[in-house]
Amino acid sequence: MREFAADPPVEERLGEALRRTHATLAVAESCTGGLIGSLLTDVPGASDYFDRSLVAYSYDSKRTVLAVSREALDEHGAVSGAVATEMARGARDTADATWGLATTGVAGPGGGTEDKPVGTVYVGVAYAGEWGTGDSYARATRYEFDGTRRQIKERIARRALSDLLEAVES
């Protein structure tokens, strides 16, 4: 279950990278239900870089809290790259943070479809470059994980932290 385990764990390495680059982070979680925020706050001194984690589980909360467009939800569904990208942007921009991180997926055991089986997740990462540089971006990556609901949620959370660490270090 701990395929992303390392010494030190990813949440500590990410915290060091954010601190080193004087960056801040806001998270928008759907299927992980606050687990990413919990992992981040397990690290002493996380308040140096971690601003907030918003759990936006329903369609309405994605729209009202993160400004995810009705069009993205209607056209692609909540579990989609388009929605994960908008969630990451919304977290980044509402917190005025350097980085936004988002998860939306199907943790199971039900709710999966042929196109989006249980274990499907999209991880969104958004970066705020300096104004006028054109360096800002947002992207989403699709993953599929096996396991129980709890295992899938942990795998998603750690994959999201690893994706962000890769982006911060690049």
Tens digits of residue pLDDT in 13-47: 999 999 999 999 999 999 999 999 999 999 999 99
22: Cβ contacts below 8 Å, ≥ 6 apart = none
Go through the domains of the chain in sequence order and give each one's CATH number.
10-169 (3.90.950.20)
Is the pLDDT confidence value at 2 over 70?
Answer: no
Is the pLDDT confidence value at 164 over 90?
Answer: yes
Q: Give residue 7's pLDDT band: very low, low, confident or very high (50, 70, 90).
A: confident
CA angle 155, 158, 161 (to 5 degrees): 150
d(CA 124, CA 83): 8
* Structure token pair of residue 63: 């729209």
Give the pLDDT confidence score for residue 5 in this predicted structure. Answer: 56
Asked whether the whole model's pTM tops 0.85, one would answer yes
